[in-house]
Structure 1
Amino acid sequence: MSKKLVAGVSGNLTRPSKTKAFISHIVGDIADRTSAASSVFDIEDLGPSFPQARRIGDLDPSARNLVEQFLSADIVVVGSPTFKGSYTGLFKHFFDLLDPSSLRGKPVVLAATGGGERHALIVEHQLRPLFGFFEALTMPTAIYASDKDFANGQLVSEAIQARARQAVAEACRAAGVPYSVGLAA
């Protein structure tokens, strides 16, 4: 049996990125607890062929490889910074390139970041409907982190870390992957 893969995508265009750090934290926790391989990228990693692409075949080989890794993952973690109350346009563009059935039944952890608490419902009002369209198996626990939950670009909030662990456990159960409680995230 091949090794399980957990993949994450961040809808951020800037570096360093709290959103990518947040997604990497969640992906790393899943990978550590399940002995899975991991892959995390952000929209910036898709390169210059991405913005003009109308389909996956329009992407250069490097970008296509990232998309294929994402689609082949056993569990995916998705997240975007909040802009004007929603995910970034290029984050949506990434998902516009995918076949509507490509995420059917796949366990998905939803996450988002934003400047303050007023954007916390992005995970429920923006991300959950998007992945409902794809018929993905979104985890009941979605995670939102605001600027106050980070220090030096790293997630430091114990409450958000606990919520992330809850989503990780749900994703592992949904994927039928043994979840090791004893490992630290």
Structure 2
Amino acid sequence: MKTTIVAGNPKPASRTLDAAGLLARALTGSEPDHVVDVVSLGPGLLGWGDDAVASAVELVASSDLVVFASPTFKATYTGILKLFLDQFATGDGLKDVVAVPLMLGAGPAHAMAPDLLLKPVLVELGATTPAAGLYLLDSTYTTDTRIADYTERWGGVITSAATAGTESTS
């Protein structure tokens, strides 16, 4: 199973990236195979045809399991993540990808944001999202039990869906 994390934070090496890595490791028991820290793609995100962006899109689209992570900005996911997601074809750009929407925020007010805002975009791009999204408090995600609780509840569903995709294509 090929696992990738995508972090859409305007700051490189962010808590968002760290949380996505923690979640991917909790779900799979191993390090993610690939990491896309979207901010590192720079101005290539603003147009079409950038080689680095195209390579990142291909990498994500060929993954079995992808954790898509964003901080909560203005009550939704970041514009930089949206710029990256705009590079995928509607309907089948994430075909055969099992996606997990993850968002971090300062307080519980936006706890539904992963499911209400990020998940529909991933589905529109063709991803399978077999579980609820996960919202973490950026101040406690390393010390609370939210990732462990989520993995206990949804880990089997997510990894089974991702593994089923690899078995049907091999």
Question: What TM-score results when the alignment is normalised by the length of structure 2?
Answer: 0.85
**Whole-angstrom CA distance in 2 between matches of 1:118 and 1:144:** 10
Q: Which residue of 95, 103, 108 maps to 1:104?
A: 95
List per-residue Cα deviations over 1:108-147 (Å, max 9, x = no partner). Answer: 1111001110011111110121122123210323210013
Is residue 2:3 matched to residue 1:6? Answer: yes
Is residue 2:76 matched to residue 1:76? Answer: no
Shift of 1:165: 4.4
Runs of 4+ that moved beyond 4 A: none
Gapped regions of structure 2 (runs ≥ 5): 165-170
**Whole-angstrom CA distance in 2 between matches of 1:97 and 1:47:** 14
Say if 1:92 and 1:79 are closer, same or farther in 2 by CA, change over 3 A. Answer: same
Aligned to 1:25: 22
**Whole-angstrom CA distance in 2 between matches of 1:24 and 1:93:** 21
**Whole-angstrom CA distance in 2 between matches of 1:37 and 1:79:** 14
Judge conservation of contact 1:143–1:164 (CA < 8 Å) in 2. Answer: no
**Whole-angstrom CA distance in 2 between matches of 1:74 and 1:92:** 21
Residues 142-153 of structure 1 aligned to structure 2 (within 5 Å): 142-150=133-141
Judge conservation of contact 1:8–1:40 (CA < 8 Å) in 2. Answer: yes
Say if 1:13 and 1:134 are closer, same or farther in 2 by CA, change over 3 A. Answer: same
Instruction: State the identity %.
Output: 26
Which amino acid in structure 2 is aligned with residue 27 of structure 1?
A: A
Say if 1:64 and 1:132 are closer, same or farther in 2 by CA, change over 3 A. Answer: closer
Q: Which residue of 40, 50, 67 maps to 1:45?
A: 40
Judge conservation of contact 2:70–2:103 (CA < 8 Å) in 1. Answer: yes
Cα RMSD after superposing both structures: 2.0
